């Protein structure tokens, strides 16, 4: 017996076999069981999510010799013939190859005749959006008032191209992309049943590459089984897909965080020897950046990072949150423009170097990391004359950092300015109120509205920063509750409200604005008024 592709072998035969699409299945099952059947159904969605599969199952439900129900028997003549694609009353049409109006008229000439063997004559028109306008016009009248023995099942990947007159005559079901976890579970079951040995990481790579399509996932599993001779190793599957492993992505992100340009380029050179898909490499790097950013706020998420959990924890503790956000944004924009580069490798390298060259505005004021060039000031960028300005003679005496006293820490708002905290750690500190410092214990009260910021990771970062600031190792105890006095965050919000009110008052009393309002009957949009930043 010849080999049959997994995508065909594992095509669902009943609604209970379907993976996902519960919102569609529930509606169809209820309609069948309650005998509330419409004459035309439209299934939309991307490739491989189950449009024609659901249509065929629906055709079986309608024509099963056991009666109309949501659970066809699967053994009667009608069910067997529909599964094998030779049921005479299921007319499947590929609209992409039959776009002419003559083809549509020929198809509809037989609508008036009763089914040959089945209960209903079912027309399954795939990629229906490919029909011409004349074909749609020929279809409309029949689609609106078909004979009682006819059902239309339409499927398309591009519903926007369908005339609204067709859409209004159909019950429309939008099938969703399947999540990676759901595809992975299905692949695990298929691999076990088909006796295909597979590492969990290999199946995960296939599930990600399928991009929400179960059919694509099964086709890739077929390809991987042939490529790996039946034993799927993660490294082999990555080589087949052209993706990079997590270890390489971790090396890249570690070099970015440390500002090590030479290490970064050396890693790219090693990567290029594997002839990777650089778009997929950017995706892998972006996913690692996302996991690292989430781990900074919710340390419990590290448990979902598998064997790379320790590396993610290290990266989360060493790279500022604002840098990760910038890296992620550069990744997304770089992926969009990668095809414009002279070569994929040069484009990939320039994206990484862009991450080294740029820094968030707040971080730009801090000393640059080793290997990371300090960005020029705005004045130096705008005025070339600044380059010829005489440089100040550096002082020979090194500057010593002034440590904070316990009394200065008590002035929590001023102390935070000295500590120069950034990102989520600064948000945590801003929403705290100083309570006391006794010996090596600093007690703070966290505003209840910011309780989500109290994580072990952020609290440890704040402890280390304060310890450096006062010159001794301390412990921090944070309690949630109502703050008695104003926290730095509350002061900042109050200052912003006051500045906004002053700006609005200034606009309202401005003589030029008043003149324009008087002459033209204009009104001022309060949302457009923003205070000037000093």
What is the Cα–Cα distance from 143 to 146, expressed in whole angstroms?
Answer: 6
Task: Dig out the tokens for 86 from the structure.
Answer: 């030779």
- Residues 185-210 have pLDDT tens digits of 999 999 999 989 988 888 988 998 88
Mean pLDDT of 250-269: 91
Q: What is the pLDDT, as a whole number, of residue 432?
A: 93
Distance of CA 232 to the CA centre of its chain: 27
What is the Cα–Cα distance from 312 to 340, expressed in whole angstroms?
Answer: 32
Q: How confident is the model at residue 214 (pLDDT cuts 50, 70, 90)?
A: very high
User: 3-state DSSP call for residue 171?
Assistant: strand
- Residues 129-138 have pLDDT tens digits of 988 888 888 8
Cα angle for residues 118, 120, 122 (degrees, 5° grid): 110
Average pLDDT score over the chain: 84
Mean pLDDT of 455-459: 88
Higher pLDDT, 422 or 305: 422
Q: What dotted CATH number matches 246-362?
A: 1.20.272.10
Mean pLDDT of 317-333: 92
DSSP state of 437: E
Q: What dotted CATH number matches 180-241?
A: 1.10.8.60
Mean pLDDT of 475-480: 91
Q: Model-level pTM?
A: 0.59
Q: How confident is the model at residue 534 (pLDDT cuts 50, 70, 90)?
A: low
Q: What is the pLDDT, as a whole number, of residue 308?
A: 67
Q: What is the pLDDT, as a whole number, of residue 51?
A: 92
Any residues with CB less than 8 A from the CB of 298 and at least 6 apart, and which?
Answer: 455
User: 3-state DSSP call for residue 438?
Assistant: strand
Q: Which CATH class is domain 6-174?
A: alpha beta
Mean pLDDT of 362-384: 45
Nearest to 49 by CA among 71, 83, 23: 23
Higher pLDDT, 144 or 157: 157
Does residue 370 carry a pLDDT above 60? no
**Contact criterion met (CB below 8 Å) for 153 and 122:** yes
Q: What is the pLDDT, as a whole number, of residue 245?
A: 73
Q: What is the pLDDT, as a whole number, of residue 398?
A: 42
Which residues does residue 477 pair with via DSSP β-bridges, in sequence order? 443
Does residue 400 carry a pLDDT above 70? no
- Residues 55-107 have pLDDT tens digits of 999 999 999 999 899 999 988 999 999 988 889 999 998 887 777 777 788 77
In whole angstroms, how far apart are CA 456 and each of 166, 299, 464?
57, 7, 12
Distance of CA 508 to the CA centre of its chain: 44
Task: Dig out the tokens for 312 from the structure.
Answer: 């993610």
Q: What is the pLDDT, as a whole number, of residue 174?
A: 93
Which residues does residue 478 pair with via DSSP β-bridges, in sequence order? 444
Nearest to 415 by CA among 427, 403, 428: 403
Which burial class, exposed, middle or buried, applies to 521 when counting CB atoms under 10 A from its CB (0-12, 13-18, 19+)?
exposed
Q: How confident is the model at residue 523 (pLDDT cuts 50, 70, 90)?
A: confident
Cα angle for residues 281, 283, 287 (degrees, 5° grid): 120
Task: Dig out the tokens for 296 from the structure.
Answer: 């900074």
- Residues 10-57 have pLDDT tens digits of 999 999 989 888 999 999 999 999 889 999 999 999 889 999 999 999
HSE on the CB side for 444, CA within 13 Å? 29
Q: What is the pLDDT, as a whole number, of residue 429?
A: 92
Q: What is the pLDDT, as a whole number, of residue 378?
A: 42
User: 3-state DSSP call for residue 476?
Assistant: strand
What is the Cα–Cα distance from 458 to 421, expressed in whole angstroms?
Answer: 11
Task: Dig out the tokens for 176 from the structure.
Answer: 């969703």
Q: What is the pLDDT, as a whole number, of residue 373?
A: 47
**Contact criterion met (CB below 8 Å) for 286 and 321:** no
Q: What is the pLDDT, as a whole number, of residue 385?
A: 34
Mean pLDDT of 316-344: 92
Q: What is the pLDDT, as a whole number, of residue 401?
A: 52
Does residue 184 carry a pLDDT above 80? yes
Q: What is the pLDDT, as a whole number, of residue 151?
A: 93
Specify the residue for token string 């309570």: 435
Is CATH 3.30.360.10 correct for 406-485? no
Q: What is the pLDDT, as a whole number, of residue 74?
A: 87
Mean pLDDT of 396-404: 56
Nearest to 272 by CA among 337, 357, 349: 349
User: 3-state DSSP call for residue 308?
Assistant: helix
**Contact criterion met (CB below 8 Å) for 82 and 117:** no
Does residue 294 carry a pLDDT above 60? yes
What is the Cα–Cα distance from 520 to 533, expressed in whole angstroms?
Answer: 30
Cα angle for residues 41, 44, 50 (degrees, 5° grid): 95
**Contact criterion met (CB below 8 Å) for 42 and 167:** yes
Does residue 113 carry a pLDDT above 60? yes
């Amino acid at each position: 017996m010849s080999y049959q592709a997994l995508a065909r072998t594992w095509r669902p035969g009943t609604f209970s076999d379907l993976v996902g699409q519960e919102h569609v299945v529930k509606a169809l099952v209820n309609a069948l069981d309650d005998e509330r059947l419409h004459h035309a159904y439209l299934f939309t969605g991307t490739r491989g999510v189950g449009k024609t599969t659901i249509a065929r199952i629906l055709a079986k439900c309608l024509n099963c010799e056991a009666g109309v129900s949501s659970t066809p028997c699967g053994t009667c003549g009608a069910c067997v013939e529909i599964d094998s694609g030779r049921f005479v009353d299921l007319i499947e049409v590929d609209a992409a190859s039959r776009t002419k109006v003559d083809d549509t008229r020929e198809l509809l000439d037989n609508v008036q005749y009763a089914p040959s063997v089945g209960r209903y004559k079912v027309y399954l028109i795939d990629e229906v959006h490919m029909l011409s306008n004349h074909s749609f016009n020929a279809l409309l009248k029949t689609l609106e008032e078909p004979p009682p023995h006819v059902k239309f099942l339409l499927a398309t990947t591009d519903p926007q191209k369908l005339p609204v007159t067709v859409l209004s005559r159909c019950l429309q079901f939008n099938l969703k992309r399947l999540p990676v976890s759901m595809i992975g579970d299905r692949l695990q079951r298929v691999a076990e049943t088909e006796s295909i040995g597979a590492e969990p990481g290999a199946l995960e790579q296939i599930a990600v590459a399928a991009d929400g399509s179960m059919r694509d996932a099964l086709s890739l599993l077929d390809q991987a089984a042939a490529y790996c001779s039946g034993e799927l190793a993660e490294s082999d599957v990555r080589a087949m897909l052209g993706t990079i492993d997590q270890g390489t992505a971790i090396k890249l992100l570690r070099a970015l965080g440390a500002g090590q340009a030479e290490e970064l380029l050396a890693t790219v050179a090693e990567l290029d020897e594997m002839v990777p898909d650089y778009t997929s490499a950017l995706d892998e790097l972006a996913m690692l950046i996302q996991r690292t950013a989430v781990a900074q706020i919710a340390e419990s998420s590290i448990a979902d990072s598998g064997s790379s959990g320790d590396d993610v924890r290290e990266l989360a503790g060493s790279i500022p949150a604002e840098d990760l956000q910038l890296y992620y944004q550069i990744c997304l924009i770089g992926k969009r423009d990668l095809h414009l580069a002279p070569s994929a490798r040069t484009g990939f390298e320039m994206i990484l170097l862009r991450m080294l060259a740029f820094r968030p505005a707040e971080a730009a004021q801090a000393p640059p990391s080793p290997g990371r060039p300090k960005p020029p000031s705005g004045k130096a960028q705008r005025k070339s004359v600044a380059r010829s300005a005489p440089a100040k003679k550096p002082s020979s005496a090194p500057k010593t950092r002034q440590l904070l006293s316990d009394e200065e820490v008590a002035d929590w708002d001023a102390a935070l300015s000295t500590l120069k905290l950034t990102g989520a750690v600064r948000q945590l500190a801003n929403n705290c109120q100083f309570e006391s410092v006794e010996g090596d214990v600093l007690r703070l009260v966290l505003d209840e509205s910011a309780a989500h910021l109290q994580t072990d990771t952020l609290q440890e970062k704040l402890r280390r920063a304060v310890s450096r600031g006062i010159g001794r190792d301390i412990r921090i105890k944070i309690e949630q509750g109502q703050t008695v006095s104003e926290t730095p965050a509350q002061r900042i919000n109050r200052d912003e409200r006051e500045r906004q009110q002053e700006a609005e008052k200034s606009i309202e009393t401005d003589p030029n604005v008043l003149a324009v309002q008087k002459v033209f009957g204009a009104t001022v949009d309060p949302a457009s008024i923003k205070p000037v930043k000093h």
